[in-house]
Structure 1
Amino acid sequence: MAETRGRDSRNELRKMALVASPAPAAQAAEAELRQRYEWTDIGDADVIIALGGDGFMLQTLHLMLDRHQIRPVFGMNLGTVGFLMNEWRLDALSDRLQRARAFSVTPLRMDAETIDGERYSSPAINEISLLRETRQTAWIEVSVDGRVVLPELVCDGVMAATAAGSTAYNLSAQGPILPLGSGLIALTPISAFRPRRWRGAILPETAKISFRVVDPVKRPVSAVADQREIRDVSVVNISIDRSIALTLLFDPEHALDDRITMEQFAV
C-alpha cells in the first residue's frame, strides 16, 4: 500500500516525482519506492526525488532547466561519491522531506563562440572548464571585468567553479574549497606550465570572466559546462546567472554546508 505523501510547513500535500539513473542499484531502489509511495509527473510535482550519484543529480538539474520546470530536488545516493546526495533509505521519506534543509544554488552561465562563429549558451552548477583537445598545450588569455589579468596562460586547461562545485573537479585540480553562500567563484588552472607560480584566484561572484583562446586552430580548446561540451572554442565568457535559483534538499544531519566545511579538514 502506498504511503501518504509528505506535507510541507502549511500542512499541504507535497506531490513527489521520482527519477533514477540507469545504474542497477538505482533502478532497484526506484522499483521499491514506486511500490511504497504515490508519485506524479515532474510537471505536476512539488519536489523531485533523484536516485543516483552526483553526475545524475547534475543531469536532473539540467533537465529541469531545459524544460523550465524547476523544482526542489531531494537526492539519495546510489552512485559512487554522492556529495550532492542524501543517504539512501526506503522508509520515512515523507518525514525526511518535512525536516529537510533547503539550499539555494545559483549556476554559472557560459557564453561561448567557436572558431567558425557559432554561439552557444549553457548553465553550469559545478564548473565551467576549458580543456586542450590535442597534445598541444592550450594558450589562453584571461580577463576579469574587462581587464586582462593573464595575457598568456599556458596550460592543460582552466576552470571557474561555484561554491557547490568547488569540492568536485576544482578540488581535484588543487583549487580552493569555497564555503556555501560565500558569494565567491574559484578560478583554477589545470596543470599550468606558465606562469609557473600562478595557482589560481578567488573572485567575487559579481565578476565577469573571459577566456580568449590564443591560436585556437593550432591549439584547439573545448569548453565544458558541467557535462556539456563545446569544441573548438575561441572565446568563452562566464558570469553568475542570477535569473536562476535551484534548490537542493538535505537531511539536517547531512546538510551541504556542513559537508563542504568538513571537506576542508579531510586528510
Structure 2
Amino acid sequence: MLIRHDPHNELACQKRDELAPLLGDDLPADLCLVLGGDGFMLRTIHELGEHHTYLGVNCGRLGFLLNAMDETDSLLLRLRDQAQWHILQAQRLAAEVTDPEGRVTSDLALNDLYVERASGQTAHLRVSLNGQVVVKRLVCDGLIAATALGSTAYATAAGGVACHPSLPMLQLVAINPHIPRLRPIALPLDARVDVEVLDAKRRPARVVCDGRDLGAATRITVLGGQRPVRLAWLAGHDPTSTLIKKLLHA
C-alpha cells in the first residue's frame, strides 16, 4: 500500500508520522491512503490514476471526498475493519481540448471541468449535446461540466444542484449566463458535450480541469463515464449527511 500526505499540511504530516509505523500487510496492496484535503486528493488521483483504491482522511476543512479524522487508535480500528468499507466506483469525465494552434490535450476530471472567459469580454459558446447543437450562441462567463461527486463544488456555487455522489449523471451549469438564460441541465453519464468557443481571438477562453489550468481553448469535447476511480469510505461515513452539512455551511 501507499501513503500520500500533503507536505504543506501540518496535521497531515503529523498523522502520517503516527500511522506509517502501525500499518501492516493486513491492508489491501492496491490501497492508497491519502492524508490531506480534497484538493490534495484530486492531485493524487490525477498523478496515480485508476490503479489504486483511494482512502482519504480529512486533514483539511469539510473533506467531501474524504473520511472524517479520528484519534489514531480509532482510525486504525476502522481501517482494519475492511468488511465495513463502502467502495464507490466514481466515474470521471474525459476531455479533449483544442488550443488556438490546433494542438489537442486530453485530461480526466473526477470533480469538474469548465471553460471560462479569459478576458474582459464575455465568452460566446456554441454547445452541442450528443452531436446536436442545443445552444447556437451562449453569452456567458463560462460553462461547467460536473460529475455527481463534483456537483457540490463550483457547479453548486454557480447555481447548479448538489447531487448524491452515487448518482450516474453529468451536470452542465452555465456561469452567469446572459443570453439565453440557460438553466442547469442533468444528463446521463454517457452523454457527449461539445463546446466551441466563438470569436476566440476577440473573446478568448480557457479550460480548467479539476483545478488544473489547461490553457486557451477553441473547442472542448467532454465524455462522461470514463475510467472510474475506486474511493473507499470507512464504517460510519454517510455521504448524505456530508452533503447536507456542506449545503448548510456553504
- TM-score under structure 1 length normalisation: 0.84
| 8 A contact 2:158–2:175 mirrored in 1 | yes
The question of 1:136 aligning with 2:121 is answered yes
Aligned to 1:266: 248
CA distance 1:265–1:19, shift in 2 (3 Å):
closer
* 1:83-232 map, 5 Å: 83-89=64-70, 90-97=72-79, 98=82, 99-195=84-180, 197-232=181-216
Identity between Structure 1 and Structure 2 (%)? 31
Query: Structure 1 unaligned runs (5+)?
Result: 1-15
| 8 A contact 1:177–1:264 mirrored in 2 | no
* 1:20-39 map, 5 Å: 20-22=5-7, 23-38=9-24
Counterparts of 1:264 and 1:54, CA distance in 2: 13
Residue 264 of structure 1: how far off its partner (Å): 8.8
Deviations 1:150-177 (A, max 9, x none): 1111111111100010111111111112
Residue 25 of structure 1: how far off its partner (Å): 1.7
CA-atom RMSD, angstroms? 2.0
Q: Provide the aligned length of Structure 1 versus Structure 2.
A: 242
Aligned to 1:245: 228
Counterparts of 1:122 and 1:265, CA distance in 2: 29
- TM-score under structure 2 length normalisation: 0.90
Query: Structure 2 unaligned runs (5+)?
Result: none
Deviations 1:74-117 (A, max 9, x none): 11111122111111221244532312211110100000101101
Aligned to 1:79: 60
Residue 62 of structure 1: how far off its partner (Å): 0.8
| 8 A contact 2:5–2:34 mirrored in 1 | yes
Counterparts of 2:164 and 2:88, CA distance in 1: 12
- Structure (1 or 2) with the greater strand fraction: 2
Residue 245 of structure 1: how far off its partner (Å): 1.8
| 8 A contact 1:101–1:255 mirrored in 2 | no
Deviations 1:24-77 (A, max 9, x none): 2211221111233348xxxx9321110000001111111112xxx611111111
Aligned to 2:34: 50
